Amino acid sequence: MKYAVIFGAQSWEHEISIVSAVVMKKVLNAELCFIFISPEREFYEIAPSDMKAVYFATGKYKKAKRLMITTGGFGKHSLTGFKKLDVDCYINLVHGMDGEDGKLAGILEFYGINFIGPRLEASVMSFNKVLTKKLCELCAVPSLPYEVLKRGDKLGLSLPAILKPARLGSSIGVQIVREPSELEYACDVGFEFDDTLLAEPFIEGIREFNLAGFKAEGEFHFSMIEEPKKTAFLDFEQKYLSFSGESGKRSADIDTSTQSELKDAFRRIYEAGGFDGALIRCDFFYHEGKVYLNEINPNPGSLANYLFADFTAEIECLAKHLPKQKQIKVEYNFINEINGQKGKMG
C-alpha cells in the first residue's frame, strides 16, 4: 500500500508537524510520498530524499513541484496534462490549526479522498479543549473541574492552577499559577495564542498515562500504555526537544484493573466522538484511584508510532478499514417536476 503523508500548514505547531513527518519516513515501512503544506497554504510534493527538517527551514521546498487537489486525491500538471499521484491512502499529519481543527479533514472529505485521520466533527471536538470537556460529559468519562477564561475574567479556581490555550496543543502557552502574583503573566502568555483559556486545578505529582489506538471492523486496536517521564508537567521541551524512540521504553507499571479502566474510557471517547478512521492518543490523569481524561490528541506526534509493537501493520489495518462516505445520487426530480407543472399550466 502506498501512502501520502500530509504535513506542515499554517499553525503554531508547523515545525512539530515537520518533525513528525520526518520520523514517519523512518518508522513506517511502506512506500511513501510526502505533501507539504506551506505557511501560505500551498501544496508541494516533497521527494523522500529531501525529508530533512533543514530543507523546510531554509525554504528549499519552494523549488519542489506544486500540487493541486481534485476529486479522489492530489495531482500535478505536466506537459502531458494533469496526473494524479499514485496513492492508496493519505495520512493527515498536520498538527494544530489546519490539521487538527477540521479544516483539512473537511477538504479531504469534500473531495472524496481516502485518508487516515479524524473527520471534521471529531476534529472540532478534540481540538477545542472546552468542547472536549463536553464530550467527556456526554460519554461519562471523568475530567478535572475547569473554568473558561476570556480577557478580563477573574479566576475562580483555587491555586495552584494550570492555564491552557483552548485551541492549541504541544503544551504551547501552558502556564502553572501557584501564586496570585503569577496570574496576570500566565494569562498574557496564554492569550498570545488564543482568545480563550481553559483553567484547571494543578495537582502536584499527578500520574499521567498515554494510550493510543483505533477501531477497525468493530475491534479496538490498542497500543501499550505509557507513563511519560516529566517534571512538573509535560511541557514543550520534554515532549519534542528530546523526542526519540527511547520513549517507547516507558511502559506503565499499573495493575490490570487500571489498564481496563483506561481502555474503557478510551473506547467511550472514541465512539462518542466519532473518531472512526483515526488513530488517536488519549492522555489520562490518574489520581486517588480514579482515571480522568486530560486531552485527546487526534493527530498524535508521528501517530504515536513508538507505542505500537508493529506500527506498520497497524497502519495498514486501519487504512484497509476506513469509513466510506455515502454517495448521494442527484437526479433533479423536484426541479423537473416543478418545471413540468409550469409547462402544463402555461
Does one domain contain both 45 and 153?
Answer: no
pTM of the prediction? 0.90
Closest CA to 128 of 190, 196, 32, 44: 196
Same-domain check for residues 135 and 250: yes
Euclidean distance between CA atoms 296 and 139, whole angstroms:
14
Same domain, 138 and 165: no
97 and 211 assigned to the same domain? no
Instruction: Tell me what the pLDDT averaged over the chain comes to.
Output: 92
pLDDT at 246 over 70: no
| pLDDT in the model for residue 249 | 52
Q: What distance lies between CA 102 and its chain's CA centroid?
A: 9
One domain, residues 91 and 239? no
Q: Are residues 137 and 277 in the same domain?
A: yes
Q: Please check whether residue 51 lies inside any domain of the structure.
A: yes
Q: Which of 66, 98, 116 is the last residue of a domain?
A: 116
* Tally of structural domains, the chain: 3
Domain that holds residue 164: 147-201
User: What confidence tier does 145 reach under pLDDT thresholds 50, 70, 90?
Assistant: very high
Residues 113-133 have pLDDT tens digits of: 999 999 999 999 999 999 999
Taking residue 261's Cβ as centre, other Cβ atoms within 10 Å add up to 18
CATH of the domain at 313: 3.30.470.20
Domain boundary among 155, 183, 201: 201
Distance CA 316, CA 1 (A): 8
CB-CB neighbours of 332 under 10 Å: 8
The CATH number assigned to the domain holding 55 equals 3.40.50.20
Query: Is 57 part of any domain?
Result: yes
105 and 37, same structural domain? yes
Q: What integer is the mean pLDDT of 141-152? A: 96
Report the pLDDT averaged over residues 11-23: 95
Which backbone phi and psi does 240 adopt, to 5 degrees?
Answer: -125, -35
pLDDT (0 to 100) of residue 236:
45
Are 179 and 284 part of one and the same domain? no
- Both 224 and 292 in one domain: the answer is yes
Residues 215 and 310 in one domain: yes
- 297 and 222 in one domain? yes
